[in-house]
Amino acid sequence: MSVGVSADVPLGGEPPKGSKQGEKRVVANVLRGSIGNLVEWYDWYAYTAFSIYFASSFFPKNDSTAELLNTAAVFAVGFLMRPIGGWMLGRYADRFGRRAALTLSVTLMAAGSLVIAVTPSYTSIGLAAPALLVAARLLQGLSVGGEYATSATYLSEVASPGKRGFYSSFQYVTLTAGQLLALGVQIVLQQVLTEEQMHSWGWRIAFVIGAAGAIVVMWLRRSMDESESFKKVAQSEEGKTPQRGTLRALLQHPRECLLVVGLTLGGTVAFYTYTTYLQKFMVNTSGISKQNAAWINFLALVVFVVIQPFAGKLSDRIGRRPLLLFFGVCGTLGTVPLLTALAGTNSPVAAFFLMLAGLIIVTGYTSINAIVKAELFPTNIRALGVGLPYALTVAIFGGSAEYVALWLKQAGMESVFFYYVAGCVLISLLVYGTMRETSKSSPLEEKSFR
């Protein structure tokens, strides 16, 4: 009895990406990688979504803005670990594989969420409470720093040629879906628990969910295929001293590293402004209730998630630079009017459309930023090249965005923050206007995988 072999599948190998079976395999790998990405970012954003409830548990009671300022400071501190995570896990991914690094990153995230979930309040253990919160956030920052780099690299490498923009856009689909899930859990808990219960213990449920989800993802990620790009480079270095993932190799690409910084600067500040800080902005400045602000964020982010793949697919047709230029121009000119209008309204409907307008602008960056950065580097340092300069930029500018906004508000200069965001986007616009189109002559398409 003979065993038939599909014509699409070479003996001893995987089905080609262009074939029907190959495309199914691509979709399966993208889904498994993306689900893990969703859970990781749910854990990361649960902190932001529930900080309005747990701020009083970890810090001495004061005015609400001061408590939020303290939690924002811890949020920023977590970002300080992202460059270390980008370096450590990026190097790990380039040396030992994308799948192994993704599994390790979600393990670290599970541990951080569990610590937050079980840490007693300030009234019970004093300064140990904020100390443990900081430690957990540092662990999560290490995880997220490696997650972005490895996830961006993995999705870009396993995607089919000509569809890399589309498939890699799912990084921000699941990244934002993680935030949506955190908001969804918040909305459900707000419906079933009283305000007092939410502040007392209800917020802990969100972190228990995150830790449990991360444990499930650890198992899922073990079954992902390793990317062919990595396997070919690893095979080419058999019997030699590995050159993959070293800082020496990365420093041979200084221009690409600086490009990642310039690409990221405006995008990360705008992204964290519209997706993370805006909920607090609506409550503290616009005077919108916590419940309405949560719903506005949730519905606007649903639309944001839906449009990411369409923008990614568009980039496969017209290139990456047109979308980046759209973000740069509209972000530079539109940020101040949008945030000024939002500050002056307490209408939930108006706030929704203003937030959505900002998110549509940011889509020009978020939908393709992963693939643009992956297209800059060769396979042997791709995860490290994407991760380290990106994480450094996000740590300095993205992680501090909320803190800068709250500090300026407390100082009575809130409108200065609007110009700060627009200025950061302008710097990136200058980069977008002078860089090459990365989808052409990309190292991702090189056959030699040098």
Q: Give the pLDDT score at 86.
A: 87
CB 188: neighbour CB atoms within 10 A?
12
Distance, CA of 97 to CA of 431 (rounded, Å): 31
Note whether residue 240 is domain-resident.
no
Q: Give the pLDDT score at 268.
A: 94
Note whether residue 4 is domain-resident.
no
On average, the pLDDT of the chain sits at: 84
Distance, CA of 182 to CA of 356 (rounded, Å): 19
Query: Are 210 and 113 spatial neighbours (Cβ–Cβ below 8 Å)?
Result: yes
Q: How many CA atoms lie within 13 A of 189 on its CB side?
A: 26
pTM (two decimals): 0.80
Distance, CA of 242 to CA of 317 (rounded, Å): 37
Note whether residue 69 is domain-resident.
yes
Q: Tell me the pLDDT band of 11, cut-offs 50, 70 and 90.
A: very low
Note whether residue 224 is domain-resident.
yes
Note whether residue 17 is domain-resident.
no
CATH code of the domain in which 407 resides = 1.20.1250.20
Note whether residue 7 is domain-resident.
no
Length of the chain measured in residues = 450
pLDDT tens-digit readout, 365-382: 999 988 999 888 888 888
Task: Return the biggest CA–CA distance within the chain.
Answer: 82
Q: Give the pLDDT score at 332.
A: 97
Number of structural domains found in the chain: 1
Note whether residue 16 is domain-resident.
no
Tell me whether residue 409 is exposed, middle or buried, using C-beta atoms within 10 angstroms of its C-beta: 0 to 12, 13 to 18, 19 or more.
Answer: buried
Query: Which range of residues forms the domain containing residue 366?
Result: 26-231+251-439
Q: Which residue has the higher pLDDT, 148 or 210?
A: 210
